[in-house]
């Protein structure tokens, strides 16, 4: 396994149009794993930034009308240039405006990976297809009991969008059209710090730039954050030091730790 080594050697330059809540954590997590971050959300500036970058991460967490334009134009440029593009549909389903924006992003941009929690992914699946909604009784929390219905939804969404679908939660599901991984990494204490999801999207983008197998690259990005959090939990005194320890552990992460810590299982779907 050379997932982390490849990131540290290729040093991807990643452009983020992202929320201002967790942006500092995203930048530091990106640096900690050996990639470099650039943040810009001005429509006159952001699309051109793709010219010097290797990837784009779009996170509409604190979207506004101007930054949404920057997201769309940056995404189109990234697609033209064949760059990795990751969508973190932060807050999808929370308001009508967010759903409208998610639909607009999905209609205009091809994503290599879409990463969200189960409710965000369900909301995204619903707004991005005109025919019929996602079954309302798809679970609200992914467990080993209901994971096959989640696989089904992820498979269909992946087939339609050609994106890897990463659904984070107590257990994570990372799925393509044909295969799915579930991962058990991370800890419940991580839910009490903001930004772990946003950092995961950053690491997925870095891993997709540096690694060939798209599905496995996304799995590596997801478990990197989980493993870092598990390691940090051992000495954290609370959520503040868990947050800092998570960055420390990302900066010290290598493939031996990733492989040793990985709790993953593969399914053909």
- Contact window for a copy of itself (CB under 8 A) among 73-81, 175-183, 240-248, 260-268: 240-248
Q: Which two tokens stand for residue 61?
A: 């967490």
Q: Is 96 in the site for a copy of itself (CB under 8 A)?
A: yes
Three-state DSSP class for residue 204? helix
Q: Is 91 in the site for a copy of itself (CB under 8 A)?
A: yes
Which of residues 149, 156, 248, 255 is near a copy of itself by CB under 8 A?
Answer: 248
Of 20 and 148, which has the nearer Cβ to a copy of itself? 20
Strands 172-175 and 13-17: unpaired
Length of the chain: 269
Contact 236, 50 (CB under 8 A): no
Per-position x/- string for 154-193, each x denoting binding to a copy of itself as judged by CB under 8 A, each - no binding: -------------------------------------xxx
Q: Is 255 in the site for a copy of itself (CB under 8 A)?
A: no
Q: Is 120 in the site for a copy of itself (CB under 8 A)?
A: no
Of 208 and 242, which has the nearer Cβ to a copy of itself? 242
Strand boundaries in the chain, DSSP class E: 13-17, 36-39, 55-58, 84-87, 113-117, 164-168, 172-175, 179-183, 264-268
Name the DSSP letter for residue 34.
T
Q: Is 133 in the site for a copy of itself (CB under 8 A)?
A: no
Q: Is 21 in the site for a copy of itself (CB under 8 A)?
A: yes
Of 15 and 155, which has the nearer Cβ to a copy of itself? 15
Query: Residue 250 and residue 259: Cα distance in Å, rounded?
Result: 14
Contact 197, 115 (CB under 8 A): yes
Which of residues 133, 135, 162, 238 is near a copy of itself by CB under 8 A?
Answer: 238
Q: Which of residues 33-52 bind a copy of itself (CB under 8 A)?
A: 37-42, 44-45, 48-49, 51-52
Q: Is 108 in the site for a copy of itself (CB under 8 A)?
A: no
Residue 264 backbone dihedrals phi, psi, to 5 degrees: -130, 155
Burial class, 264, CB count within 10 angstroms (exposed 0-12 / middle 13-18 / buried 19+): middle
Q: Which of residues 192-211 bind a copy of itself (CB under 8 A)?
A: 192-195
Q: Which of residues 58-87 bind a copy of itself (CB under 8 A)?
A: 61-66
β-pair partners for 55 = 14, 84
Query: Residue 190 and residue 225: Cα distance in Å, rounded?
Result: 10
Three-state DSSP class for residue 225? helix
Of 21 and 138, which has the nearer Cβ to a copy of itself? 21
Of 133 and 238, which has the nearer Cβ to a copy of itself? 238
Of 68 and 174, which has the nearer Cβ to a copy of itself? 68
Query: Residue 1 and residue 32: Cα distance in Å, rounded?
Result: 19
Residues at the contact surface with a copy of itself, assessed by CB under 8 A: 19-25, 27-28, 31-32, 37-42, 44-45, 48-49, 51-52, 61-66, 91, 94-98, 191-195, 236-241, 243-252
């Amino acid at each position: 396994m050379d997932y982390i080594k490849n990131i540290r050697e290729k040093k991807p330059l990643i452009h983020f149009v992202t929320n201002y809540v967790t942006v500092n954590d995203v930048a530091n997590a990106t640096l900690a794993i050996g990639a470099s971050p650039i943040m810009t959300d001005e429509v006159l500036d952001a699309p051109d930034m793709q010219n010097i970058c290797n990837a784009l991460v779009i996170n509409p967490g604190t979207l506004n009308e101007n930054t949404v334009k920057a997201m769309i134009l940056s995404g189109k440029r990234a697609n033209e240039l064949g760059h990795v593009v990751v969508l973190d549909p932060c807050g999808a389903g929370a308001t009508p405006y967010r759903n409208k924006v998610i639909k607009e992003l999905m209609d205009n941009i091809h994503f290599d990976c879409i990463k969200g929690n189960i409710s965000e992914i369900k909301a995204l699946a619903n707004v991005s297809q005109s025919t019929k909604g996602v079954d309302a009784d798809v679970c609200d929390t992914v467990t080993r009991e209901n994971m096959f219905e989640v696989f089904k939804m992820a498979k269909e969404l992946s087939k339609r969008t050609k994106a890897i679908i990463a659904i984070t939660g107590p257990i994570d599901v990372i799925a393509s059209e044909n295969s799915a991984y579930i991962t058990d990494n991370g800890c419940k204490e991580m839910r009490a710090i903001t930004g772990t999801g946003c950092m995961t999207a950053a690491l997925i983008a870095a891993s997709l730039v540096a690694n060939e197998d798209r599905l496995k690259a996304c799995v590596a990005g997801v478990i990197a954050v989980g493993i870092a959090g598990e390691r940090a939990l051992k000495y954290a005194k609370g959520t503040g030091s868990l947050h800092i320890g998570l960055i420390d552990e990302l900066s010290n992460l290598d493939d031996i730790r990733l492989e040793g810590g990985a709790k993953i299982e593969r399914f053909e779907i």
